[in-house]
Structure 1
Amino acid sequence: MERLTGWKKNDAWGSTDAIPNFLGSERSESPVSEVWFGDHIDGPTSLNESGIILRDLIDQDPTAMLGDGLLYSFGPRLPFLMKLIAPAEALSLQVHPTKELAREGYIREDVLGIERTAADRTYRDMNHKPEMIYALTDFEALVGFRVPRKARRLLDGLEGMVADSLRKRLRLATVRSGLKMLIGWLFDEDSPATAEGVSEFAASCAQRLERGTSPSRRTDEMVTRLAAKYVGDPGIIVAFLMNPVSLRPGEAVYIPPRQIHSYQSGLGIEVMASSDNVVRAGLTRKYVDSAQLVEIAEFSALPPIRVAAEHPSDTTDTFLAPAQEFSLSVTTLPAAEARSAYSHESDARGAFKSEASAHDAVSHESDMHELSDDTRAVTIPGEGPRILMCLEGSIDVTTSAPRAHSADHLTLTCGQSVFVGACEHDIRASGRGKLIQCATP
């Protein structure tokens, strides 16, 4: 096993305290949006003890680290990428490509001479990017499109050219390609969704809120909030047409390739195929390619895909998404005393608040000698390469076949993580708390 230090990102939409609080570090002066754990070339996760990056460790012996099966199926790279993610503000309206679209887009931008890491580049690798978000706090998101008849109901009481045009076009959105034509129209230069038109639409939502006549306070509050930050952005109208999703701690939602989405607030664990391909269409200061999004997005009006937990053992819940690259499992060790409360702060920033005292962490080693039968070691279901992170409490992790010059036993506290190679076989855990594992199913 190898302890990991994740790679931090500082996007403007991140929180200054959610991830630092979870990791037990000081509040950051700049927003911390994500921490990556994987071997993607653009997010160099490092090993604590040796200082080398995880990618290099895998390159030294891909068979031992990944196993023959994964090496054959995915090549000499870890197929999944795990992230801590903490939006304090809305992320961009975005979709992720399929493998075919990613390959085509990557080659096209190479031919155009756009540097792989350039700000105006969309395709940074050739992989698809299905993903799943597991909520650590209350987590808000927009995922996919509402059924058109429901969207029409939300227009009741709204005035202005954009609202009137939407009423007419939503009647046609039930026919084949109707939603695609509607969203394409919103981004068209001849659309009434000009800066003035969008501002008028948002003002009408705000007025409806003040009158107390809103059919959906959540939607009108979202539009008002977005309009204050992204004045005149037609992406605000697209967000109005999308499904709002509220996750409680311990719940998960799956985002397939081509599905439009935007995370809004909270703290969560995000797991995905190892890719950084993002096609954006609004609500961002980053590079936007709305024409490309309209071209590749899925425009079926379907409910979000919530992932229910399977229960392979008394202590573990497993979240299986329809993706070959990743699965998540959460193990709650018996008699767990170190429970933690995840909560939203009033400013909608997710923050982790542990109820475990510092004394519990210091005295854990001596406590292990007095553990009851209820806290004996349990086997963590799974095989192959894995990344594990402690979500609460203090967890002792052991492997049955440690590698030379690596640990066979480590103690993890909240926010600490390890990489376990395929050659290390069974993983057993004991202690009190929760442990999340990312692996390939």
Structure 2
Amino acid sequence: MLALINEIRRYAWGSQTAMAEFLGRKAPTAEPEAELWIGAYPACPSRLADGRTLQELIAADPTAALGAAAVARFGPRLPFLLKVLTIGAPLSLQAHPDAGRAEQGFAAEEAAGVPLDHPSRNYRDPRHKPEMLCALTPVEAFCGFRAVPETVALLDELAVAELAGLRDTLSVGGLPDAVRWIFDVPNAEVEGAVSAVGKAASKVGSGPDVPALQWISRLADKYPDDRGVLLTLLCGFIRLEPGEALVVPAGCLHAYLAGVGVEIMAESDNVLRGG
């Protein structure tokens, strides 16, 4: 057995205490710590005590490192990536591509000469990225879409005049048309709609939608000009207790909101953001 030295990714949505406490280090830290990567992904590989990366160890003898069956199925690489997430603030709404879209998107961005580390880069590799998060503490998230009748009922309850068009579009055209409606809202009208949604959401005091609406109200306050807040009205809400897990298939819109969890995924760093 070989000990691995794993890198921590520092993003604004991380926590200044949770990762340090998980690793038994002093808290709070100077910067938010968001993800502990454990794997052989080239941009952030785990390392051995002698300085070699896990990627280099595998490349030296793939069969010894991974087993013949894994090499036969996936090639001479570790096919998954493990992360510990410490979520101190909501992540962006995002989805991860399926294999076909990842291959096409990666090829297109390579041909266009977009650097792998450029902020506008969506496809950092040609692989899909299904994932599963197992909660270590309570974890809350938006994931997938509500059933249309449920969302129509929610919009009726909120009774936000600025979203009358969304309610009608959803009723007639379904989710695809509703998503297009949100992205077609003129920029000058977004802040007014988000503000109205936040105020209406904060006034709902009972019922099964209260936890989701509390988050929507907080997001409206923090991101007053982000149409992604409107998109969360269409999303399902879930709370995981420790030990429970959430499977997020490729193509599934989601946003982790709070908590600590272990995330296992295909070896990919492809993220398509929606707000």
- Residues 127-136 or 20-29, more deviating: 20-29
Report the 3-state secondary structure (helix = DSSP H, G, I; strand = E; otherwise coil) of the residue aligned with 1:201: helix
Deviations along 1:169-189, whole A, 9 cap, x unmatched?
Answer: 22124xxxx211211221125
Deviation of 1:200 (Å): 2.0
Name the structure 2 match of 1:23: 23
1:114-193 map, 5 Å = 114-173=114-173, 178-190=174-186
- Aligned partners of 2:182, 2:138: CA distance in 1, in Å? 31
Name the structure 1 match of 2:218: 225
Deviation of 1:198 (Å): 1.7
- Aligned partners of 2:40, 2:219: CA distance in 1, in Å? 34
1:330-409 map, 5 Å = none
1:310-349 map, 5 Å = none
- Aligned partners of 2:81, 2:198: CA distance in 1, in Å? 37
- Aligned partners of 1:3, 1:107: CA distance in 2, in Å? 36
Report the 3-state secondary structure (helix = DSSP H, G, I; strand = E; otherwise coil) of the residue aligned with 2:158: coil
- Aligned partners of 1:68, 1:215: CA distance in 2, in Å? 50
Report the 3-state secondary structure (helix = DSSP H, G, I; strand = E; otherwise coil) of the residue aligned with 2:3: strand
Deviations along 1:133-190, whole A, 9 cap, x unmatched?
Answer: 01101111111000011112212343443331222122124xxxx2112112211254
- Matched AA of 1:267: V
Change (3 A) 1:192 1:217: farther
Report the 3-state secondary structure (helix = DSSP H, G, I; strand = E; otherwise coil) of the residue aligned with 2:127: coil
Name the structure 1 match of 2:270: 277
- Aligned partners of 1:189, 1:248: CA distance in 2, in Å? 36
Name the structure 2 match of 1:100: 100
Name the structure 2 match of 1:45: 46
Deviation of 1:107 (Å): 0.7
Change (3 A) 1:193 1:141: farther
Over alpha carbons, which structure has the higher Rg? 1
Whether contact under 8 Å (2:197, 2:217) holds in the other structure is no
Note the residue ranges of structure 2 that are not aligned, 5 or more in a row.
Answer: none
- Residues 136-145 or 50-59, more deviating: 50-59
Note the residue ranges of structure 1 that are not aligned, 5 or more in a row.
Answer: 283-441
- Aligned partners of 1:164, 1:222: CA distance in 2, in Å? 21
- Aligned partners of 1:171, 1:191: CA distance in 2, in Å? 24
- Aligned partners of 1:190, 1:197: CA distance in 2, in Å? 10
Whether contact under 8 Å (1:149, 1:170) holds in the other structure is no
- Aligned partners of 1:225, 1:260: CA distance in 2, in Å? 20
Task: From the two aligned structures, give the one with the greater strand fraction.
Answer: 1
Whether contact under 8 Å (1:162, 1:192) holds in the other structure is no
Deviation of 1:84 (Å): 0.3
Name the structure 1 match of 2:190: 194
Report the 3-state secondary structure (helix = DSSP H, G, I; strand = E; otherwise coil) of the residue aligned with 1:149: helix
- Aligned partners of 1:161, 1:231: CA distance in 2, in Å? 17
Name the structure 2 match of 1:259: 252
- Matched AA of 2:199: A
> Which structure exhibits the higher relative contact order, with contacts defined as CA atoms closer than 8 Å and separated by 6 or more residues?
2
- Aligned partners of 1:262, 1:133: CA distance in 2, in Å? 12
Q: TM-score, normalised by structure 1?
A: 0.60
- Matched AA of 2:99: K
Whether contact under 8 Å (1:186, 1:193) holds in the other structure is no
- Aligned partners of 1:95, 1:279: CA distance in 2, in Å? 5
- Residues 159-168 or 17-26, more deviating: 159-168
Deviation of 1:41 (Å): 0.7
Deviation of 1:214 (Å): 6.5
Deviations along 1:10-55, whole A, 9 cap, x unmatched?
Answer: 11001111111011011211111000000001112111x3122111
Name the structure 1 match of 2:33: 32
Deviation of 1:230 (Å): 1.1
- Aligned partners of 1:279, 1:193: CA distance in 2, in Å? 24
Whether contact under 8 Å (2:169, 2:177) holds in the other structure is no
Deviation of 1:273 (Å): 0.3
- Aligned partners of 1:205, 1:141: CA distance in 2, in Å? 17
Change (3 A) 1:90 1:193: farther
Report the 3-state secondary structure (helix = DSSP H, G, I; strand = E; otherwise coil) of the residue aligned with 1:52: coil
Aligned residue pairs total: 274
- Matched AA of 2:24: G
Q: Does 1:7 align with 2:35?
A: no
Whether contact under 8 Å (2:197, 2:220) holds in the other structure is no
Deviation of 1:219 (Å): 2.2
Q: TM-score, normalised by structure 2?
A: 0.94
Deviation of 1:127 (Å): 0.5
Report the 3-state secondary structure (helix = DSSP H, G, I; strand = E; otherwise coil) of the residue aligned with 2:144: strand
- Aligned partners of 1:170, 1:180: CA distance in 2, in Å? 8
Whether contact under 8 Å (2:92, 2:273) holds in the other structure is yes
- Matched AA of 2:34: S
Report the 3-state secondary structure (helix = DSSP H, G, I; strand = E; otherwise coil) of the residue aligned with 1:109: helix
Moved over 6 A (4+): none
